[in-house]
A and B are shown apart, each in its own frame.
Chain A
Amino acid sequence: MNLPPLALPTSRFPLPGEFVFATAQYESGDWDSAPLVPANLIDSVARYTSLPVAPTGAIVALASDDLFRFPLVFLTGHLPVRFTDAERTNIRRFADRGGMLFVDDHNHDIDGAFHKTAVEELTRAVGPLSRLPNTHPIYSTFFKFPDGPPNTSHELNGWGDNLVHSHLRAAMRGDRIAVLYSNKDYSSEWGYHPDNKRFLAIDNTKFGVNIIVYALTR
């Protein structure tokens, strides 16, 4: 797969053209609550695809212009989210210019502070989040997920809001997902060292590969 070269800072991203998994840093909340997710998804991308990928993730401030250097940015947290004006503006511009923001509720709780505030802030930034149909191409762009988003063990165990969420939500730009929002707590589901992936009968990070491939190809 040929990717357009990315103008990345040479100090952190020495190889142009490789995919760098970026985690969004925002002023409020605990943006760094899932530090192992980037490495785990990088491992999955390397394992299943031939995409040139950087071995470590990057952290990008939502308010900085560096945000536009990354095609996909991951945002998570437990605590209430209050975007600054600069962050809100950047998110809007990021979505309009082709970027994709993947937001995951680390609380897995629709009554939780993160869910309420994040949905509110995202709505203000990019518009309302609508239910993403389970037939969307993101569920088949690499691995096939005919039933929609894969469930997490936290959902099935009844933690958080005791709900098994059947759909993801998204803010669209045309037929492209600009913001993908999840209540499924993938931050916890994927938050383990990639070396421990060998203990799983089924790799639960495959949907993460779909998200990345979708973001890079749309």
Chain B
Amino acid sequence: MRPLDRVIRTRRALAAAIATRAALGSFGTVLLTAAFLTAALRGSGVATSSAVWLVAGLVGAVALALLVRPWSRLTVPRVALWIEERVPALQYALVTAVDPAGAWPGATFLEREIDRVSWDRVAARAIVRGLRWPAVAALGGLAAFLLSLRVGVASAVEHDGARPSVTTTSEREVPAPFARLVATVRSPAYAGGQVVRVESPASIAALVGSAVVLEAPGSGDGVTADAGDRSIPVQRVGAAWRATVTVETRPEVVRLRHGSAERLVALEPRPDSVPVVRLLFPARDTVIRAARGELRLSAQAHDDIGVATAAFEYIVSSGEGESFQFRSGTLGVRRADSARDVALDAPLDLDQLGLKPGDMVHLRAVARDGNSVSGPGAGASETRVLRVARAGEYDSIAVEGAPPPEADKSLISQRMLIMLTEALEKRRPTLAHETLVSESRQIARDQTRLRKRVGDIIFQRLGNNPTGEEGRGPDDALTSDSTAPAVDSVRRDSVRRAAARAGRTPREIVAADSADSARAALLRAASAATGSGDEILDFEGDETPVVAINRPLLEAYNAMWEASRELDQAETGRALPPMRRALAAIQRARQAERIYLRGKAPAVVVDLARVRLTGKEKGAASTRLPRAPMDPAAARRAARLAAAIELASRSPAAAIDSIVLLRVQSLDAAPQLAAALADALVAMRSGRDATTALARARRIADGSLRGAGGLGDWSGVW
């Protein structure tokens, strides 16, 4: 082979080496640039995009252009010089032999000398040495890019996790098929069919019957979806795949799977409320005398979505006793065209109903919404009853005006009555007889009232069932059924007649009669003891305890009676002595000896250690009671939440899934916990610190957080 051919072969090898080095170098540059940008963006919480690769590609192209430039300098003389530089044994024979200036007389000699020298190994070693660093750069770039992805995930963990101290990386990144998941929620047709678009949904709250379309770009190959035990078909639509699911009445979780990757979306059903109806008129149940004329009916209805129809319903019940007949009907039907608030008015023609005395009309307002999925929901107002009075019940309907109760008047004291009487006695010569009688009788009435009050005090001590000697008269036999045969028939008949007249039972009549007899006996004893009332009572021998206790008051009672009698006859002068005796008796009663029983003195033991401040506070006043055992279901929820929080440090995505499942299962049983978990999920998914939300959820799950339930009775501002 001629020297020129050998040089050209070497030039080809060098050109390939330059191309390889440029490729490796640009590849490494692209990867390094992408790694830098990815780490920078994800470290600041910004998602990576195609712009990163665009920038990296530009930088790589620049690097490629720079690295390919030596290609243009690969001429035969330069390659020959490159070889001469590395193989000194050629002694410039190769440069001379390949000189393009033309043939040289000693060329043959030179070719023989060149043929004896081989530079292939040297050239290969040099080429390999030249490719070493570009290859290292390419590998380094690749490693840096992979590292940037991992570093980026670690940064995300710090934001998503419950604890800011988490530094480990997640094993699961957001799976690629679900990275750009979008949910489109279409409410049911009766609710207007509104469409709401939710990006990267974690939980969707929608009306029952709403259609939820989960959609993401990609082929959807290998993507499966299910909700509980039912499978959801995944369809490919253009450049995207979608799965459609309907919101059921129970909360559930839609699981999207692709290989080992999984994405959970919680579906929260929002039930449609039934309409709320208020019957405005008639405002209350009514009894009418004659069923004639027209009655205006008025009602209001409100629904969260919209009222479809509203009307008044009535039921007429006729009859009495065991025989009733019913008629029903509807009034004022109105189609509301899904208005949320509906006012309903209609007249009720009583003449058309043909009501008879005793009939009752039950009235209510009813509204129905347009729920075609789980309804329609019907709401009704409370029922009013319109009753037609019977002819024989007019007396019971009318309410007679009762006289007002007698006002509680203060009593005039005995001392004041004496003063009034003395003053009247002084004025007696100057007064006309009628005036004297009138004023004297006024004092007599006051004296009588005071005497009754004294009598009340005396007889109050007897009680309702007088005991002792006074209460055990022969009439007491009537109070016991066992002794009834001993009562003569005449007495029994009189009691029955009295009971019938008074509307009371014979037993009550007998008891009252017995008490009256006891009082009469007591008064007889007092009168017998006091004689005409001129001397002070002095019981001896067989005086009863009741008489003994009330002796001064009994004396006052009798003296007052005597004074009243005199005052009633305008004999003021003769009334004063008994009035003064009554006052003296009251004074004696006031000065009666009173015995106050003395209690046992407390045995005080001085706590010396407490007094000397050397003791220990036992804290008896703040004794802690053991907590009530936690509800097993609540305990399980608390344990699951604790496990999820623990999992957040190792696998945030798995922790999010666990919390999503826990939240869905807590929606019914523990709505407060579910709300707290929703806050935590939002924080975790958006990359914010979820520590506060998770801590609150844990307090709720542990049962240590309870609502105050409003202000206490005495906690307001005075």
Question: Which A residues have a C-beta under 8 Å from some C-beta of B?
Answer: 32, 35-36, 38-39, 42-43, 46-47, 53, 55-56, 193-194
- B602 proximal to A (CB < 8 A): yes
Complex contact A35–B602 (CB within 8 A)? yes
Given contacts A46-B611, A46-B612, A47-B611, contact A55 B602 (CB under 8 A): no
A47 to B613 Cα, complex, angstroms: 9
- B603 proximal to A (CB < 8 A): yes
Complex contact B611–A43 (CB within 8 A)? yes
Complex contact B601–A55 (CB within 8 A)? no
Q: List 30 A-B contacts (CB under 8 A).
A: A32-B601, A35-B601, A35-B604, A36-B601, A36-B602, A36-B604, A38-B604, A39-B604, A39-B605, A39-B606, A42-B606, A42-B608, A43-B606, A43-B611, A46-B606, A46-B608, A46-B611, A47-B611, A47-B612, A55-B606, A55-B607, A55-B608, A56-B603, A56-B604, A56-B605, A56-B606, A193-B602, A193-B604, A194-B606, A194-B611
Contacts of A193 in B (CB 8 A): 602, 604
Can you list the 9 inter-chain pairs with the closest CB atoms, starting with the nearest? A35-B601, A39-B604, A46-B611, A46-B608, A42-B606, A55-B606, A43-B606, A47-B611, A55-B605
Within the complex, the shortest CB–CB distance from B670 to chain A, in Å, comes to: 48
A53 to B608 Cα, complex, angstroms: 8
Contacts of A43 in B (CB 8 A): 606, 611
Contacts of A56 in B (CB 8 A): 603-606
Contacts of B601 in A (CB 8 A): 32, 35-36
Closest residue of B by beta carbon distance from A195: B604
Closest residue of B by beta carbon distance from A32: B601
Which of A36, A53, A55 has its CB near the most chain B CB atoms (within 10 A)?
A55
A193 to B603 Cα, complex, angstroms: 10
Q: Is the interface of B mostly helix, strand, loop or mixed?
A: loop
Contacts of A38 in B (CB 8 A): 604
A55 to B608 Cα, complex, angstroms: 6
A47 to B603 Cα, complex, angstroms: 19
Contacts of B604 in A (CB 8 A): 35-36, 38-39, 56, 193-194
A196 to B313 Cα, complex, angstroms: 72
A35 to B604 Cα, complex, angstroms: 9
Closest residue of B by beta carbon distance from A43: B606
A46 to B612 Cα, complex, angstroms: 6
A43 to B607 Cα, complex, angstroms: 8
Which of B605, B606, B608, B611 has its CB near the most chain A CB atoms (within 10 A)?
B606
A190 to B119 Cα, complex, angstroms: 125
Closest residue of B by beta carbon distance from A53: B608
Within the complex, the shortest CB–CB distance from B715 to chain A, in Å, comes to: 28
Closest residue of B by beta carbon distance from A42: B606
A32 to B607 Cα, complex, angstroms: 22
A53 to B605 Cα, complex, angstroms: 12
Closest residue of A by beta carbon distance from B603: A56
A35 to B606 Cα, complex, angstroms: 13
Within the complex, the shortest CB–CB distance from A30 to chain B, in Å, comes to: 10
Closest residue of A by beta carbon distance from B600: A35
A32 to B598 Cα, complex, angstroms: 12
A79 to B450 Cα, complex, angstroms: 41
Contacts of A35 in B (CB 8 A): 601-602, 604
Within the complex, the shortest CB–CB distance from A118 to chain B, in Å, comes to: 21
Within the complex, the shortest CB–CB distance from B620 to chain A, in Å, comes to: 14
Within the complex, the shortest CB–CB distance from B390 to chain A, in Å, comes to: 72
A68 to B612 Cα, complex, angstroms: 29
Which of B601, B607, B608, B612 has its CB near the most chain A CB atoms (within 10 A)?
B608
A164 to B603 Cα, complex, angstroms: 32
Within the complex, the shortest CB–CB distance from B615 to chain A, in Å, comes to: 11
